[in-house]
Amino acid sequence: MPRLADLSVKTKDVWEIPRESLQLIKRLGNGQFGEVWMGTWNGTTKVAVKTLKPGTMSPESFLEEAQIMKKLQIA
């Protein structure tokens, strides 16, 4: 699985993907704001998917959190 440092200049900032390309496999947890799922992207790449409950977080706050998460590199 590629890490952030391995992604090309053209793809490293493309973080919005079609929902249809995701398959949710197993719910890992849930909380006040939503759920986290283990899933796959395009049927091949393992991903974590965060879903939000309606009205719990502003789009701006979610995007700020996503910017932080993009900096993480999981070995």
Please state the rounded mean pLDDT for residues 14-24. 85
Q: Does the reported pTM lie above 0.85? A: no
Binding site, residues?
A: 50
Domain assignment present for 14: yes
3-state secondary structure of 46: strand
Question: What DSSP character marks residue 10?
Answer: T
**Residue 31: which domain range?**
4-70
Binding site for ATP, residues?
A: 50
Domain assignment present for 38: yes
| pLDDT score at 26 | 98
Domain assignment present for 75: no
pLDDT at 17 over 90: no
- For tokens 């799922």, what's the residue? 37
